[in-house]
Every structure is written in C-alpha cells, then in structure tokens.
Amino acid sequence: MMGEKREDGLIVKGMTSPLNPIAQLQLRFKDLETNFHGWLSKQSLAVEAAIVTATSAVQGAAIGGFMGTLTSDVTSAFPTPPVDASLSPQAMASFKQAQALSGGPLMQARNFAVMTGVNAGISCVMKRVRGKEDVQNSMVAAFGSGAMFSLVSGMGGPNQAANVVTSGLFFALIQGGLYKIQEKFSKQPAEDIFYSRTRGMLANLGLQNYEKNFKKGLLTDNTLPLLTDSALRDVRVPPGPRLLILDHIKRNPELRERR
C-alpha cells in the first residue's frame, strides 16, 4: 500500500506493509496513556489524587487476588479459633499476622488494594506539592502504605498504635533503600569533560574504540596539539589509526596553531 513518511518511521512513501495487530494495539494503548496523563495533569490536586489512588487500588486488588489464589491452600492451615477461645493477646496477634500473610483472594485483594492505592495517592500529592519526585516522597508514601496495611490486615501485636508506626517505618526504610539502589543503577554516567574534543575527533575518524587508550594514557583534550607518534604508540594505538589522528591534528587550524 502507498503511504507518506511519518516522524516515527512507521509509514514511508512507496510500498509499505501494515503493522501487525499487536504493534497497532501497543501504539493505541501508548497514545491513550499519553493523552490520559496529559489530561490528568491539568486537573486539580484532589481529582488527580483520587483518580490515581483508585486506579492503583484496582491494579493492586487484581494482583492481590491472584496471589491469594496461590495461597488459598496455606490459609486452610490456620483455622479460625472459636469465639470463646481463651487466647492471649500475643497469640491472637500472631494468628492474625499469619492470616494477613496467607489470606485468600478477597483478603489479599483488600490488602494489596490498600497498599498500592495509598502509596500512589500519597506519591501523587507529594509530587504535586513539592514539584519533584525523590526518595523523600517515596519514603513518605511507603510509610502511609505500611501504616494503612497494618490497620486493615491486623498484623502485629495488641498495641495497634505501635504496630502502625512500626509497619510504616519498615515500609519506608525498604522502599527508600530500593529507590536509592534503582537510582544508582539507572543514573547515566556523567560525560567526561576532559575528553569531549578527543571523543569527537575519534568519532569523526571512526576510531572511537581507541578512546580507552587515550584515557589510560591521560591524553586529555589539552594534549591534542602536543600528540606525537611516540605518544600514541605508548598507549598502544596501531600505526594506521596513529597516522589518521596525526593527520587530523595537522589539518586542524586551531590545533596546528597551538602546537
């Protein structure tokens, strides 16, 4: 079929083949998601927080319900004690904690809905109020998420207030640590300003593989006008690339004047 070229390169002038159904569906979903986020960013803080909380809670409930089906067999191992059972507060707290961790689909759906919904809602409010997204926002959201999870699940000992604070702090520390780890591994390495011109020269000559040789020999941008065949040989640059580099420096007026 005939088509015109677009910026995304999916349609080019001349004979083109249509996208497969999966790719079309992905593009439509991406467009819908982009439009939705654009619309949401223009709403008031209350509306945005409510929608984000609700949608995240639905997603969390789906995940929790699925996980609950996997732990339904474990739940049967914790029979409900009779009403008149004389259990100590500590024993009852342990029983509730086991139920919270191994509950059926409905219980896990509720727990995950609360955790994900509260976390997303607080994150949304913090980001809008502070104007940025950082580890502080993440830890505050995690504290609220852990505190609400403690309330709805009944985890912990008989002191409910202490349980809420302890769970909140535990969630905050875990999520803060994960945020820092993710930030560390996702951060792009800063460009070395001392080798910017050298990197450009090698790229133009198709010799970018020898950038490591320059760095190993501390041949920075300031040393470009001073380069000699022996200096390049010392950092193990082969004869052919050496000739190309020296010829480039010789032909460059700015570098030639600085020699």
Task: Tell me the per-residue pLDDT of 109-168, one tens digit each, with 9 for 90 and over.
Answer: 888 999 999 999 999 999 888 888 889 999 999 999 999 988 887 766 667 788 889 988
pLDDT-based confidence at residue 182 (cuts at 50, 70, 90): confident
Residue predicted with more confidence, 198 or 83: 198
Nearest to 19, CA basis, from 38, 3, 42: 3
Residue 227 is predicted with a pLDDT of 92
Domain with CATH 1.10.150 in the chain: 193-257
Residue 85 is predicted with a pLDDT of 47
181 DSSP β-pair partners: none
Q: Specify whether the CB–CB gap between 127 and 133 falls below 8 A.
A: yes
Q: Mean pLDDT: which of 31-35, 37-41, 51-55, 193-197 is highest?
A: 51-55
pLDDT surpassing 90 at residue 238: yes
Residue 172 is predicted with a pLDDT of 92
pLDDT-based confidence at residue 18 (cuts at 50, 70, 90): low
Residue 80 is predicted with a pLDDT of 53
Residue 35 is predicted with a pLDDT of 83
Q: Going by C-beta distance under 8 Å and a sequence separation of 6 or more, which residues neighbour residue 135?
A: 176, 179, 180, 183
Residue 6 is predicted with a pLDDT of 47
CATH assignment, 193-257:
1.10.150
Mean pLDDT (whole number) for 22-48: 83
Q: Specify whether the CB–CB gap between 166 and 147 falls below 8 A.
A: no
Residue 153 is predicted with a pLDDT of 79
Tracing tokens 């991406």 back to the chain, one arrives at 30
Please give the mean pLDDT across all residues of the chain: 79
Nearest to 109, CA basis, from 170, 67, 53: 67
Nearest to 75, CA basis, from 48, 101, 56: 101
pLDDT surpassing 60 at residue 97: no
- Over residues 61-94, the pLDDT tens digits come to 999 888 878 766 554 554 555 544 454 555 545 5
Residue predicted with more confidence, 117 or 96: 117
- What gap in Å lies between CA 220 and CA 228, rounded to an integer? 14
Residue 137 is predicted with a pLDDT of 93
| pTM of the predicted structure, to 2 decimals | 0.55
CA dist list (Å): 128 to 44, 46, 145:
10, 11, 18
- What secondary structure does DSSP assign to the chain, as a single string? -EE---TTSSS-SEE--PPPHHHHHHHHHHHHHHHHHHHHHTS-HHHHHHHHHHHHHHHHHHHHHHHHHHSHHHHTTSPPPPTT----HHHHHHHHHHHHHH--HHHHHHHHHHHHHHHHHHHHHHHHHHSS--HHHHHHHHHHHHHHHHHHH--S-S-HHHHHHHHHHHHHHHHHHHHHHHHHHHSPPPP-GGGHHHHHHHHHHT-GGGHHHHHHTT--GGGGGG--HHHHHHTT--HHHHHHHHHHHHH-HHHHHT-
